[in-house]
Amino acid sequence: MTTARRWRFQRNGTVFREGWLGTIGLGIGLFLLLADPGWVANRVAAQDLVATTEPLEPAAQRLKLRVPDGFEIQLVAAEPDIQKPLNLAFDARGRLWVTDTVEYPYPAEEGTVPRDTLKILEDFGPDGRARRITTFAAQLNIPIGVLPWGNGAIGHSIPQLWRFRDLDDDGRADLREALLGPFGYRDTHGMVSHLRRGFDGWIHCCHGFANDSEIRDRRGRVLRLNSGNTFRFRLRPEGVEAEHATLDLEVEPFTFGQVNPFGLAFDAWGDLYSCDCHSQPLYLLMREGCYPSFGKPDDGLGFTPEVTLDDHGSTGIAGVVVYEADHFPDLWRGTVFIGNPVTSRINHDRLEWNGSTPRVVRQPDFVVSDDPWFRPVDLRLGPDGALYVADFYNRIIGHYEVPLTHPGRDRHRGRIWRIVHQGQGGRPLAPIVDRRRADAERLIADLDDANLEVRLTATHELVDRFQRDPSNGLDRRLQEALETSGTGNHNGAPPKIAPLTPIGRTHALWALQRMGRLTDALTRTFACDPDPLVRTHLMRMLGDRAPETWTEAIRALAHAGLNDPHPRVRRAAAEALSRHPQAVSVAPLIAAIRAVDANDPLLRHGLRIALRNQLRDDSAAAWHRVEALGEADPSARAIAADVAVGVPSARAAAFLMACLEDQTNPVAPNRREASIRHIARHGDDPVVAALIGWIAGTEVGGAPLRGVAALSSYAEGARQRGRSLDPRALDQALTLCQRLLESSESTDETIRAATDLAKTLKLTAIHADLLAFAHQTTRPAHQRAWVLTAAAELDPPATVETLAAIVTDRSEFWGLRAHMGDVLAGLQPERSRPALLEALGDAPLHLQTPLAASLARDPAGAAALVEAIEAGRVSRLVLKDRTVEMRLLATRGSAAAEELERLRMGMPDADQALQELIERRRARYREIPVDVARGRAVFEQHCASCHMIGNQGGKVGPQLDGVAIRGPDRLHEDILDPSRNVDQAFRLTTLVLASGQVVSGLVVREEGQLIVLADADGRERAYDAHEIDERVVSNLSPMPANFGERLDETELAHLIQFLVAQPGMR
């Protein structure tokens, strides 16, 4: 195996490794040369991601911000009083806290003093302006999330969540102590943000994009987070004052997945919403729900159902508010505001409910800016009822859309705005009240306030300041208020006259629950409250109870909640049961799933999570219940089988195997492959043996593609477990592959299936059959490429000769030669080099370029390429190609720069040549009559294997919904120069295998002992960790770099027009 020179570079404490292996990129895309072809609301015009206008002073900018009639936008603060604001939060005194930065996007270098701050804004004038601004904490490093807490705040600053304490009440932090961390900061535009304290006192947080974090609470629980996710933590006792030196901290995951959640908001019912960059602008978060992310699998139950198909014309979403107040007119209450920094707007959505599932109905945008520097990155509902906006005022908003080093990035301008209503229908702004000094009677009265933020603050203050002194009679006063409230039942019993409305009762109950003084008698009473809001929260309180308090009577209340007339009560009851599993809940949950309305997918999903959790601990009693129910009612067995795929245990695998073998009630077709994979991964040996026999008897003997799917699923599951493949499965796979290859009726689908199966099961015995197929020159070139690539992976030494012959055969299609050249170079460089040099000698430039890139993959090959260019055997024009250039620089070291300068003397450099190509194609785009339909065809042929638009296509690369916002000029750059700006999540990874083979692609996930790569065709390949000698990440994109050659100017113009024509609805 060739030894490669490798080097390291370090930036801000993070070490990256690079080398000649890390620059592989062009060749994996050449395969696509061989492939056969295969509603608009509030449309947002394309906008430059780098604003072409100059910055405006705040007064001038305000005139550029358009809001609906009756509303007014007011300036709260601007530079130099603040810099770039990131997150906002209000405290109990009505003060506004803001994290701001000048360091972003790079963390402060080690050994330097960070310059970022946490500030407090207060004393707001009638015009909204904060008349007092205090720097509470300085020397912070890209601080994002903040939550006022006790006599200070909890806030993020790389790499921790910190507790900042003001010991002398002068408005400045005297003490800073690490609370939770460290958190990853490889990527700095997400990290830990949007700290939101819920009804139950837990603090919910977003964990940002592309980072890995391993955090531990003070009970020793370890939480591992990767790119996305939300988590929550709780401090006990709540609201600790300065005299408390030690906190008991618990931390736990809340949801899994999402790409870069950046915004959290509660509604009055206790549901938590997030907005996520790159996937969906709005999610309703279900505890333990799994959400889509780049390439990551679901949890076995499938992804939590979506609530919107509208991406608001952008993948850059930041900050969300559910408007729960009465300052705005009725039309606006309960609606959703979302910050959209890419389009310089604040979007507005209305929620329509199907049972417990909301559906987003897009409304006209709430704020539209004629100044493209407006970048709303956070929104908060103020205690006065106004909407507050953090404006990251900047020429550039994207983190990766343009280089991080772009000189146009502004570091010092930032604004905070307040949006108020001055017209008919709303209420005046509420006065700012210092609730830190309010007595209990005032706080109890505030539990009925129309503003959710006021109600939550009052609840927190009651718990924080009054719970430690039982003599103050708070619990008695709360119980008295509740006992005189309307507490009939929801079947029509007349309520009493109540001093507290349903929302007041809800918060009073939560205060008692958090203080540990919600009695069973009160619980039973309010489980029958006439208002579903109260009943919903009561179910949530059941879930929040300690396990030892879950008596039979309490569980019976949760079971009754599953049959409540209101679907949101039922969903909350399911969540409560999910947190307190016991076998006796299995039958009520299965009955609830059977009865659920198909138009309420969130309720169904919540019930499935709850049933999964009853079975997850491998409780024998729970499985006995399932089996007994299944014998009496086959539909119960089918429901349990659907959920069992999400239970990672041998018991679940045995149950699924029994279900597969039950011909009278088989597993649903859409769950068959997942069930097979589950059994192979989690089943005991006898169960897996039964699976192999079942596959042979029912799958392989039937439709061939069904057999391929079954065997592939088996192999994937077995390898995730780290177990060897059963010889019987290998024999079945060999026979099936041979049948598919030899068939006279073979199609792309069957040949692809055969080669994928051969690679997945590592069927070395099929190698001769693959070569025989490849030598049939009448076969389509792309099919031969698939087969040869599989042969090279299965037996590299035995494939070199065949590959070399094809690469040097002038009668072969040049695209096949180019692709096979790259495959050849990744096998055994010393044996492949002569063939590549021979092929280079008389190849046309369009073939010389990819062959040169292949040759330059290792130092000796790079030296041979330079020698051939110097001797005139290879055109020096190949040096204009960026991939060739980057590989030479990576493998030749300092000498390469001098060589390139000498060899390219008089030639435009690669960047210049590429830019000239981009400019020529842009000009032709404006001249050519373009056709969206033809552009769709180009997309489906060349792009859809990796990219998704409108829920169609692959999920390997970034989703392209909303890509039209980039406009035609930027799209030309993205397609013709894909490595110009590469998101960290989409950089090329190269694996050097123990066999000497080199493979490249995008890491889409890691499962157990497997690393799964996707190639440029979007096909996934799994590699066992033990067979990988080295893993290197480059700065290149896995996207092919030769679209300038692959697409002529007409095809590219059609493709660009198709992308530009994409609406804001997916």
Residue 192 lies in a domain: yes
Please, are residues 315 and 261 in contact by the beta-carbon 8 Å criterion? no
Beta pairing, strands 345-354 & 357-369: antiparallel
199 and 314 co-located in one domain? yes
Domain boundary among 462, 493, 519: 519
pLDDT value of residue 628: 92
Residue 789 lies in a domain: no
d(CA 604, CA 570): 10
Residue 269 lies in a domain: yes
282 and 359 co-located in one domain? yes
Retrieve residue 745's tokens.
Answer: 């009726």
338 and 451 co-located in one domain? no
The CA angle 654-660-664, to the nearest 5 degrees, is: 125
Domain boundary among 388, 421, 454: 421
Residue 1060 lies in a domain: no
326 and 193 co-located in one domain? yes
Please, are residues 394 and 79 in contact by the beta-carbon 8 Å criterion? no
d(CA 319, CA 681): 40
Residue 369 lies in a domain: yes
Please, are residues 622 and 581 in contact by the beta-carbon 8 Å criterion? yes
Give me the CATH number covering residue 116. Answer: 2.120.10.30
72 and 211 co-located in one domain? yes
For residue 389, how many other CB atoms are within 10 A of its CB?
28
Retrieve residue 862's tokens.
Answer: 């790079």
Domain count for the chain, please give it: 2
What lies within 8 Å, CB to CB, of 660 at 6+ separation is: 666, 667, 672, 675, 676, 679, 691, 694
Residue 929 lies in a domain: no
Q: How far is CA 568 from CA 303, 354, 508, 573, 581, in A?
A: 20, 10, 20, 9, 20
d(CA 472, CA 465): 11
Q: What is the DSSP secondary-structure string of 295-331?
A: S----SS-PPPPS--B-TT-S----EEE--SSSS-GG
pLDDT digits (tens, 9 = 90+) for 340-356: 998 999 999 999 999 99
d(CA 17, CA 1030): 11
Retrieve residue 232's tokens.
Answer: 């929550």
pLDDT value of residue 245: 46
d(CA 60, CA 676): 63
383 and 287 co-located in one domain? yes
Backbone angles phi, psi at 503, to 5 degrees: -70, -35
For each successive 10 residues of the chain (1066 residues), what is the average pLDDT?
28 30 34 32 54 96 97 98 97 97 93 96 97 97 96 96 94 94 89 96 93 84 89 76 60 93 96 87 96 88 93 83 97 96 94 97 97 97 98 85 81 97 92 94 94 98 83 78 60 49 95 93 94 98 96 97 98 98 97 96 98 89 92 92 96 95 82 95 96 88 86 93 92 94 88 94 95 93 94 94 93 91 88 91 85 90 90 85 84 79 74 80 87 86 77 69 74 78 67 71 71 70 76 69 80 87 56
pLDDT value of residue 1035: 61
Beta pairing, strands 290-291 & 248-257: parallel
Strand ranges for 355-407 from DSSP E: 357-369, 376-381, 387-391
Q: Which contiguous run of DSSP H or E holds residue 502? A: helix 502-514
511 and 441 co-located in one domain? yes
d(CA 532, CA 520): 19
* SS3 assignment for 102-143: CCCCCCCCCCCCCCEEEEEEEEECCCCCEEEEEEEEEEECCC
Residue 586 lies in a domain: no
**Residue-range definition of the domain harbouring residue 416:** 58-421
Identify whether 829 is preceded by a cis peptide bond (ω within 30 of 0). no
d(CA 318, CA 337): 10
pLDDT value of residue 61: 98
How many CA atoms does the CB half-sphere of 177 hold within 13 Å?
9
448 and 370 co-located in one domain? no
Please, are residues 344 and 400 in contact by the beta-carbon 8 Å criterion? no
* Axis-axis angle for helices 586-595, 601-616 (nearest 10): 160
Burial readout 304-315 (b: 16 or more C-beta within 10 A, e: otherwise)? bbbbbbbbbbbb
Residue 166 lies in a domain: yes
d(CA 206, CA 184): 13
pLDDT value of residue 871: 86
Please, are residues 156 and 143 in contact by the beta-carbon 8 Å criterion? yes
pLDDT value of residue 20: 30
pLDDT value of residue 29: 38
378 and 489 co-located in one domain? no
387 and 464 co-located in one domain? no
What lies within 8 Å, CB to CB, of 951 at 6+ separation is: 309, 1066
Q: Which contiguous run of DSSP H or E holds residue 612? A: helix 601-616
248 and 317 co-located in one domain? yes
d(CA 320, CA 341): 12
pLDDT value of residue 1064: 47
Domain boundary among 478, 497, 519: 519
131 and 186 co-located in one domain? yes
